[in-house]
A and B are shown apart, each in its own frame.
Chain A
């Protein structure tokens, strides 16, 4: 299975049901899309994340389950952070990755615990490791590290050995 080049043309990707569904319901929310290594990624406007996920979760798109939330730090480029939501569809037997880009200064995004209650612990972990705030989160505090820990270790400007 030799690697195929990634498809990033939105017009070509509109044939995919998830892209088509989001485009018809919330056209201004979809910023970009990529199909690479058999995996589909959508970039969504951070202000419309909750709405976009609600559309994708609906019966038309069918991505009813959330598998994972994490983040990537692209320091020093801006926008610095990407929060990554891995959606899963039991009916389609497919995965979909939804991403939002966040700026480096005071990164924050709406919580999605109203859609998936289980997202709370994953969002706490992203807060703990990257310092990204989730507005409306029921109990946003450090989950893995001690409460008095300084810094957010998975940021790229945090040394691997930690501060000494």
Chain B
């Protein structure tokens, strides 16, 4: 048997000694990666030395598909990118196309969009809270969160006929008016929802185990947040005072009153507190939209772009012709390019749409917040404990459909 000295002198055998590291493969089927994220972790005992994300398992080529569709046919594709906030995707895309067209929408459509967009934020944050707490070991919260989420999905079904892939927004408004009894349903929901937020908060905020697992864990500094292009609650948890709804208002957000919660600690707990506060702010915003919802049409008066009502289509020849033209040939959009950024529940969701003057977009690019926020995985996990990796992933609220597109 060779002695250690003999092994050392032999250049073929490498002495890895006690300070060697190993590679651990996490995912893509790991339940705590929120989808199909694969992480390659180089670990030294319990400490993560390096981490490298491997993405693309959910890549479906949506950007390429968009180039082969008419402008109105792209709306259902946008739902499928970030499947936890379909309305936000719809909104970003239709705002971008409306900007290209120079089209204005009626006030009722604007307020309906605001209302549903904030409900979507609540929906998304509830899924985040439930799964994030489940990852860290607090199982009870999950069931409570999904109880309330079910109510929101019912509302989506009432307006759009679909629970998740709503495709409710249209270029020039929304597809149809709110159904009867919808406002009473939503009023009832927001009357009890703040109390439910207190319930979740009671389970977690002052819970010593929760605090031990989240405080001081996966810290992102403000400088890192900016050079790594982070946005949304992930950046706001590190003290970046930036919210597109407040700072670059779009789609009527300048008419709503709300606060933007900020924290400076930059750890998992700070990001948790911010999203909890956003749940309350969003509830307030939904309340404001209900109070100020005006009457009137929900589609703009642009017959060449917006499909006519069924009633008009069956009684007026012109409406029927327009309907036929839009469905078979689409509508043309003047040449140009726009970038529309929207504050999605995860951060800056941006659509860059280029038109060459035809009925199909020349290029649609989605700047997805999860893709950019994944840049932070290195600074969050490296030199920290392996067990905190799941807390870190949950805290940036990653959606892999949004990363891979």
Contacts and interface: CB of A to CB of B under 8 A. Distances in A.
Interface in A53-110: 64-68, 70, 72-73, 84, 86, 90, 93, 95, 97
Contacts of B405: 144
A12 interface: no
A6 B371 CA distance: 32
A118 B371 CA distance: 10
Interface in A107-145: 115-122, 125, 129, 142-145
B102 interface: yes
Given A144-B59, A160-B65, A86 B336 contact: no
Interface string B222-246: 0000111111000000001110000
A36 interface: yes
Given A1-B104, A3-B102, A90-B247, A68 B338 contact: no
B348 to A, nearest CB: 6
Contacts of A90: 240-242, 247
Contacts of A145: 56, 59
A155 to B, nearest CB: 10
A39 interface: yes
Contacts of A115: 227
Contacts of B100: 37
B339 A39 contact: yes
B252 to A, nearest CB: 14
Contact of A160 (B64, B337, B363): B64
B67 interface: yes
B359 interface: no
A160 B67 contact: yes
A93 B247 contact: yes
B374 interface: yes
Interface in B327-375: 334, 336-339, 341, 348, 350, 352, 354, 362-363, 365, 367, 371-372, 374-375
User: Which bracket fits the contact residues of A?
Assistant: 35 or more
A66 B365 CA distance: 16
Given A72-B354, A95-B339, A118 B227 contact: yes
B336 A36 contact: yes
Interface in A11-48: 36-37, 39, 41
A50 interface: no
B63 A118 contact: no
B99 interface: yes
A67 B350 contact: yes
B334 A3 contact: yes
Contacts of A41: 337
B72 to A, nearest CB: 18
A95 B96 CA distance: 15
Contacts of B101: 3
Contacts of B227: 115-118
Given A37-B100, A67-B350, A93-B247, A144 B56 contact: yes
B181 interface: no
Interface string B90-110: 000000000111101000000
Contacts of B354: 72
16 contacts: A37-B100, A64-B226, A65-B229, A67-B231, A70-B367, A86-B350, A90-B242, A118-B228, A119-B229, A121-B375, A142-B56, A144-B56, A144-B404, A153-B64, A154-B63, A160-B65
Interface of A: 1-3, 6, 36-37, 39, 41, 64-68, 70, 72-73, 84, 86, 90, 93, 95, 97, 115-122, 125, 129, 142-146, 153-154, 158, 160
Given A118-B229, A153-B61, 19 more contacts: A2-B102, A6-B336, A37-B99, A64-B226, A66-B229, A67-B231, A67-B350, A68-B350, A70-B365, A86-B352, A95-B339, A97-B337, A118-B228, A118-B372, A121-B371, A121-B372, A121-B374, A144-B404, A146-B56
* A-B interface, 8 closest residue pairs, ranked by CB to CB distance from nearest: A118-B229, A3-B102, A144-B56, A118-B228, A68-B367, A118-B375, A70-B365, A144-B59
